[in-house]
Amino acid sequence: MYSFIFLPHNLLNLLLIATGVIFFLIMISFSIVFFQEKEYRAAKIAFITSLFVASPFILISLMQFAYKDVIAFIILFITYSAVLVLFIPIRFSKKELFSEPTDKHDERDIMFSRNELVPNTEKYTQYYALNPEKKVIDDNFRDKPGLLSPESVFYHTLAYASANANLQVIEALKPFVNGTVAAKKLEVDNEKISKYLKAWASKLGAHSTGITILKEYHLYSHKGRKELYGKEITNHHKFAIAITVEMDNDLISTAPKGPVIMESTQQYLNSGTIALQIASFIRELGYSARAHIDGNYELICPLVARDAGLGEIGRMGLLITPKLGPRVRLAVVTTDIPLPVDTKSDFSSVIDFCTICKKCAVVCPSHAISLENRKKISNTLRWKINSESCFTYWCSAGTDCGRCIAVCPYSHPNNLMHNIIRWGIHNSSLFQRFALFMDNIFYGKKPKSRKIPSWIDI
């Protein structure tokens, strides 16, 4: 027997059953992956959805009623057309990418530098004489308990002690950012040495490594931290190697609680160590190299990493990498060893997705992230976060918060399921909307902060 569309009834029934089974299997796989990721709300929703999504197809295949073939055909046609449309790589608009800034930042203006100013000292008096408008704002964060303070909201003895331990090791490593260059310069094949450096960095724990020409706007104008405060920065290196390392999803998901600062400092340390090793290695080959690590930067790492092709700057002002989103920490090595520069990939989908997403801005406890579209600031179309509000919150919380990183849909683990979704987001404007809708369903519009893992909360 043939139906009106000349498909055997049995084939239509088979297609209905197969479609139901496929959707069921997809949702069940999602549920299992979410469960493994300890996303229990998402796992539960995916499990319930697996039952509902399959049942209309299976039920229709089992039932007998008038015009069944017509209805079955229409349902199958709509279902597969919708799937096809979602995955067709069409982008409505490609947003203009982050362009090159015209001016340099002064490291003395960043919050960490301002936090180090001690009242009644020359530096303090000078800074606020030049920047009187910042005095009230800074007095506000100085009134709070401060980062890693026992009086802070999220004080956690073990997590804070671990973070302090990490920071002490980073501090001890700072003298090694520079070093003596070997007298004999080795002739190097730039392609081979770049390949070697990237493979070695990966072996040492880097998630991604990219190379760019060092530009003037990457550099701060003046040092703003510790003993070199106020020193003009001159760095004549030609190249910059940007390194990202992953921050652990389980710990970042507890943001803004104690483990977040334990993990961020750990990855500052890990990225910093890799940068120190690479810089030292390059000096061994007879070329100048300087590592830029936490608390001892001459440059703005996200800008370098972006130009080295490792991602794009998103709404929260951080580098959004293709596989881990903002859930990375960065370090940079500048050098004069000849290196091939990486070509930049097209990450305009990050800007497109950030334009519709706004999850980081919605959850930010200090309202530091803009809900508006990008604005032109120093020749650069970008989102600017209110670093003063953000840092003031850190000084109450005691941690570096990280709620924005934790809830970002790009931050989900680097696995097949999320990478298929990332592929869809990269290629299709419709899929971007669908992915955001599903992210809100599975994780919630304002995903909750996870519990501190039991091995930390003993």
Residues forming the site for ligand SF4 (CB under 6 A): 314-316, 320, 353-354, 357-360, 364-366, 368-369, 385, 390, 393, 401-404, 407-410
Residue with tokens 């990202």: 244
Measured from the CB of residue 70, what is the shortest distance to ligand SF4 in angstroms?
Answer: 42
- The CA-atom distances, in angstroms, between 32 and each of 26, 29, 311, 414 are 10, 5, 29, 15
Q: Which two tokens stand for residue 185?
A: 């310069």
Which C-beta is closer to ligand SF4: that of 301 or that of 320? 320
Measured from the CB of residue 316, what is the shortest distance to ligand SF4 in angstroms?
Answer: 4
Helix (H) or strand (E) holding 321: none
Which C-beta is closer to ligand SF4: that of 61 or that of 370? 370
Q: What letter represents residue 240's amino acid?
A: A
Torsion of CA 262, 265, 269, 274, to 10 degrees: 100
Q: Say if CB 293 and CB 174 are below 8 A apart.
A: yes
Measured from the CB of residue 56, what is the shortest distance to ligand SF4 in angstroms?
Answer: 32
Measured from the CB of residue 401, what is the shortest distance to ligand SF4 in angstroms?
Answer: 3
- The CA-atom distances, in angstroms, between 184 and each of 176, 179, 336 are 20, 15, 15
Which C-beta is closer to ligand SF4: that of 337 or that of 425? 425
Which C-beta is closer to ligand SF4: that of 20 or that of 409? 409
Measured from the CB of residue 350, what is the shortest distance to ligand SF4 in angstroms?
Answer: 7
Which C-beta is closer to ligand SF4: that of 368 or that of 456? 368
Q: Cα(111)–Cα(114) distance, rounded to whole angstroms?
A: 5
Measured from the CB of residue 147, what is the shortest distance to ligand SF4 in angstroms?
Answer: 12
Q: Say if CB 320 and CB 311 are below 8 A apart.
A: yes
Burial of 280 (0-12, 13-18, 19+ CB in 10 A): middle
Measured from the CB of residue 312, what is the shortest distance to ligand SF4 in angstroms?
Answer: 10
Q: Cα(177)–Cα(231) distance, rounded to whole angstroms?
A: 17
Which C-beta is closer to ligand SF4: that of 222 or that of 374? 374
Measured from the CB of residue 368, what is the shortest distance to ligand SF4 in angstroms?
Answer: 4
What is residue 293's DSSP assignment? B
Which C-beta is closer to ligand SF4: that of 198 or that of 327? 327
Which C-beta is closer to ligand SF4: that of 242 or that of 357? 357
Q: Say if CB 356 and CB 375 are below 8 A apart.
A: no
The string of DSSP letters for 227-251 reads: GGTTPBP----SEEEEEEEEPPHHH
